[in-house]
């Protein structure tokens, strides 16, 4: 795995642990197939906050007009979107 991929995974895991108020070890295994929405780790507001957090931390943003929402449910898909599909953020 690439360093960028592992950094994004770590950001997601830390955010989910803080949002769910649990220790990160309770989220193990936190592999690509981990679906934090189905598991109840995040609600819809928490998920939006995660996307905003990732955008700030990676200095990238996603163009949601071209993204299938189903792709956002798992850790692996979300990491891939930020690893390969996000664009640099432009401050207004």
Using CA atoms, how far residue 74 sits from 34, 39, 42, 71, 78, in Å, is 5, 10, 12, 7, 6
Tokens of 58: 């990676």
CATH of 3-88, one of 3.40.50.720, 1.10.1200.10, 1.10.357.10, 3.90.550.10: 1.10.1200.10
- pLDDT (tens digit, 9 = 90+) per residue, 48-60? 899 889 989 988 8
- Where on the phi/psi map is residue 23: left (φ > 0), alpha (ψ -120 to 50), or beta? beta
- pLDDT (tens digit, 9 = 90+) per residue, 11-32? 998 998 888 767 777 777 778 8
Give the domain ranges of the chain: 3-88
* Residue count (the chain): 92
In the prediction, which pLDDT does 85 show?
Answer: 63
Q: What is the pTM of this model?
A: 0.79
């Amino acid at each position: 795995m690439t360093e960028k991929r592992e950094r994004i995974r770590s950001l997601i895991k830390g955010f989910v642990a803080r949002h769910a108020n649990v220790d990160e070890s309770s989220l193990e295994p936190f592999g690509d197939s981990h679906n934090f929405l189905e598991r109840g780790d995040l609600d819809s507001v928490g998920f939006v906050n995660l996307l905003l957090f990732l955008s700030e931390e990676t200095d990238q943003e996603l163009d949601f007009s071209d993204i299938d929402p189903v792709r956002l449910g798992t850790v692996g898909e979300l990491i891939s979107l930020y690893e390969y599909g996000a664009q640099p953020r432009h401050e207004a």
